[in-house]
Amino acid sequence: MNNKSCSRVRLTKGNRTRDLVAFTAVAVVALVWSAPARADVPAWMRSVASNPLPKYSAETNAVLLYDETTIAVKDAGEVHSIHRRVYRILRPSGRDRGVFNVSFDKETKVISMRAWSLPANGGKEFEVKEKDAVETQLTEGDLYSDTRHRILRIPAADPGATVAYEYEQRERPYILQDIWWFQSPDPVRQSRFILQLPPGWRYKAAWIHHEPVVPQEDGNNQLHWELGDISAVEEEAEMPPVQSIEGRMVVNYFPAAGTVGNSMDSWQDVGKWYTALTGDRRISSVEIKKKVEDLAGGSADTLGKLRALAGFVQKDIRYVAIEIGVGGYQPHPAASVFSNRYGDCKDKATLLAAMLHEIGIDSFYVLVNTRRGVVTPEYPPGVNFNHVILAITLPSDASAGDLYAIVAHPRYGKLLLFDPTSTLTPLGDLPFYEQSNYGMLTAADGGELVRMPLLPPSVNRLSRTARLTLSPDGSITGSVEELRNGDPAESSRARLLAAQGGERAKVLESFIGSSVGGFTLTKATVGNLEAYDQMLILNYQFVAPNYAQTAGNLLLVRPRVLGGKASTLLEEKERKYPVEFDTATLQTDQFDLTLPQGYVPDELPPPVRIDFDFATYSSKVEMVSGNVLRYSRTYQVKEVVVPSSRLGDLKRFYRQILTDESSAAVFKKAGS
């Protein structure tokens, strides 16, 4: 399936992302454009452009003056759509509103594309048409798709200018559903959505992050909704995914009796549709059976066999996506995936399902949106997913042990969630974007949304210990050991594996340099780097001059030598949106610092204890074994989303941590 987590995004209707705007703007830089035609600016654009604007903040890049979408549905399930947008560009950073992209495939035809610009101060007007567009695939990595894109650049898209575009499409969608994205990164002056249905058809509208609005009935089964002065969704650091915040209306429409069309009135309907689409894809082959015997034959217990098969699909089946037509949703046959040794997320899940069946283990597809919070029980049924994983029926003779990604299902028992595409995530864990998220479990009798677990903090573990020595001149030397499990291990592995040879030392140097200046890394080793189901072990040594400060007979030392847990993200400006952590985590530090002979403590920082329901932090500074200063602390995140109403508590949490991390211990020479 179209999968962000695999770093492959298929840009489809209803899956609008800000990445598309940036990617399209970059993609057109090197393209050659023909001269624009003489302007024939439509009346609807001139009318909107002439209206005065209210005052916006100095940071506003552009204003979406007018946004209109018209959806006309035919009896056969064909959809004809017209899209119009008008922007006023306010700052140089808003110039990318002058580039737009229309996607299409064999089921979608672009009927027309046109765009115009009205420069500021009555300058020359421009018009560009479809013949001026550049066609490309805009694909990433190992992705082949029949989805293509026509990109049109609007001339003179400069501050003060008004730009507009219009395009028409005809398509035969797999699911009869549309999304009205009335909120955007820019403030919106006016947005309209028009729906024309054939006689006898009905619709069901669901409002996400907005109070429901009653449509105006225009007659002949046509309706329209209209909103005005909609605030922008401004990006903030560590906010939830934009799609989980933006206001929108999702409309499902349903044909009259005897007509054609795929309508989804419940999650069970979605599950039945996907089961029918994938029903014959898990059929095994002689070659698959032989491979299962080779892999599982050496394990006496069922769980060992399961680990062997999961590891093979996860690591030995290369990610390559070939998505043509319904292939964006439908997996390739398991036998084909096995013989080719490649596939995308749904292909890898299909092959593993076929292999598990050979050892008597059932499994179910789970459709996921990797943007946490986009799909919820309140979201209307549809295929707003971009990834596929498996729910594996845990055998009765298999102990859960270190398998944490388990959902207890009333009919199917214990289900182990596993992502064969995430090569660094071992069986029993889940990538962070799937935790505390919803997925659609598909079975023969339909589908249902299931809550995927947030793994305990102890699963995502970081333990750092250091033995350090401080010299009378203030220099520090010593060794550090880090033990990492779960997400801390996965994120470090990803960085280290991406770096080669001597570049790996820079990964550690970047971390040390964030806490200690002027240091030299003298030695570093990595254990279990490619043993993804084992603890990642980092050992390194460094020396840093002038770590401590001297003032007469006093020595000032910061006990927290490495690693920062504080954040200043809440101090920059008033915040609108929640803060989202990646995972729950438990992280501990213990730094033992041997002091120079002849120094005794004069003042030590007090212990710290901060306890909120979403996170806790504690630290202690003490003298042990005579002249050894010990700093120990524990940092634990228990919930991944801190709502806007709790941002004041989170700010206090970070401030106290920052104070603790910056505090100094004072020592004086004995007898002074």
- What are the pLDDT digits (tens) for 553-585? 899 999 999 999 998 777 767 889 999 999 999
pLDDT over 90 at 398, yes or no? no
Q: Cβ of 669: how many Cβ atoms within 10 Å?
A: 16
Confidence of residue 476 (pLDDT cuts 50, 70, 90): very high
pLDDT of residue 478: 95
pLDDT of residue 1: 57
> What secondary structure does DSSP assign to 194-232, as a single string?
EEE--TT-EEEEEEESS---PPEEEETTEEEEEEEEEPP
339 versus 259: the higher-pLDDT residue is: 339
pTM for the predicted model, two decimal places = 0.89
Q: Which DSSP symbol is given to 551?
A: E
3-state secondary structure of 638: coil
Query: Can you read off the two tokens belonging to residue 241?
Result: 């995914």
pLDDT at 324: 64
Q: What is the pLDDT of residue 138?
A: 59
**Side-chain half-sphere exposure of 172, counting CA atoms within 13 A:** 9
> CA 319, CA 348: separation in Å to the nearest integer?
8
- Write down the pLDDT at residue 258: 58
Cα–Cα dist 103/110, whole Å: 8
Nearest to 548 by CA among 592, 517, 510, 520: 517
| Per-residue model confidence as pLDDT tens digits over 167-208 | 999 998 888 999 999 999 999 999 999 999 999 999 999 999
pLDDT for 299 equals 80
**pLDDT-based confidence at 14, cuts 50/70/90?**
very low
**Is the model's pLDDT at 666 over the cut of 80?**
yes
**pLDDT computed for residue 107 by the predictor:** 83
* pLDDT value, residue 418: 97
Of 60, 115, 129, 126, the closest CA to residue 88 belongs to 60
Measure the CA angle with vertex 649, ends 434 and 185; round to 5°.
55
More reliable by pLDDT, 582 or 1: 582
Q: Which two tokens stand for residue 491?
A: 């994120």
Cα–Cα distance, 71 to 195 (Å, whole number): 5
Token pair belonging to 60: 């506003």
Find the range with the poorest average confidence among 470-474, 538-542, 629-633: 470-474
State mean pLDDT over 149-168: 95
User: Structure tokens of 466?
Assistant: 């250091």
Higher pLDDT, 84 or 1: 84
DSSP three-state, residue 173 = coil
Report the C-alpha dihedral over residues 152, 157, 162, 165, rounded to 10 degrees: 0
Full 3-state SS string of 93-159: HHHHHHEEEEEECCCEEEEEEEEEEECHHHCCCEEEEHHHCEEECCCCCCEEECCEEEEEECCCCCC
User: Residue 574, exposed/middle/buried by CB under 10 A (0-12, 13-18, 19+)?
Assistant: exposed
As given in the structure block, the two tokens for residue 186 are 């820019």
CATH of domain 18-254: 2.60.40.3140
Q: What is the pLDDT of residue 31?
A: 42
The residue to which tokens 């809440």 are assigned: 570
Token digits for 589? 């530090």
Helix/strand/coil for 614: coil
> Based on the number of CB atoms within 10 Å of its own CB, is 439 exposed (0-12), middle (13-18) or buried (19 or more)?
buried
Residues linked to residue 110 through DSSP beta bridges, in sequence order: 169
Q: Which band of pLDDT confidence, cut at 50, 70 and 90, is reported for residue 13?
A: very low
Report percent pLDDT > 70 for the chain: 92
DSSP state of 11: -
Q: Residue 139's pLDDT is what? A: 59
> Domain 459-669, what fold?
Jelly Rolls (2.60.120)
DSSP structural state of residue 628: E
Of the listed ranges 45-49, 134-138, 457-461, 657-661, the least confidently predicted one is: 134-138
Long-range contacts of the stretch 622-628 (C-beta < 8 A, 24+): 624/592, 627/594, 627/595, 627/596, 627/597, 627/599, 628/592, 628/593, 628/594, 628/595
- Domain borders along the chain are 18-254, 267-455, 459-669
Burial category of 300 from C-beta neighbours within 10 Å (exposed 0-12, middle 13-18, buried 19 and up): exposed
- For 267-455, which CATH class? alpha beta
Tokens of 252: 């499902």
Query: Is the CB of residue 292 less than 8 Å from the CB of residue 302?
Result: no
**98 within 8 A of 119, measured Cβ to Cβ:** no
* pLDDT, position 327: 62
Residue 28: pLDDT band by 50, 70, 90 thresholds?
very low
Q: Going by C-beta distance under 8 Å and a sequence separation of 6 or more, which residues neighbour residue 330?
A: 277, 278, 281, 346
| Per-residue pLDDT tens over the stretch 116-136 | 999 988 788 999 999 999 988
**What are the residues whose beta carbons fall under 8 Å from the beta carbon of 672, sequence distance 6 or more?**
553
Lowest mean pLDDT among 195-204, 211-220, 389-398: 389-398
Which segment of 62-76, 442-456, 497-511, 616-630 scores lowest on mean pLDDT? 497-511
pLDDT of 613 over the 50 cut: yes
Judge whether residue 33 has pLDDT over 50: no
What's residue 260's pLDDT?
Answer: 58
Which amino acid type is present at position 429? D
Q: What is the pLDDT of residue 262?
A: 74
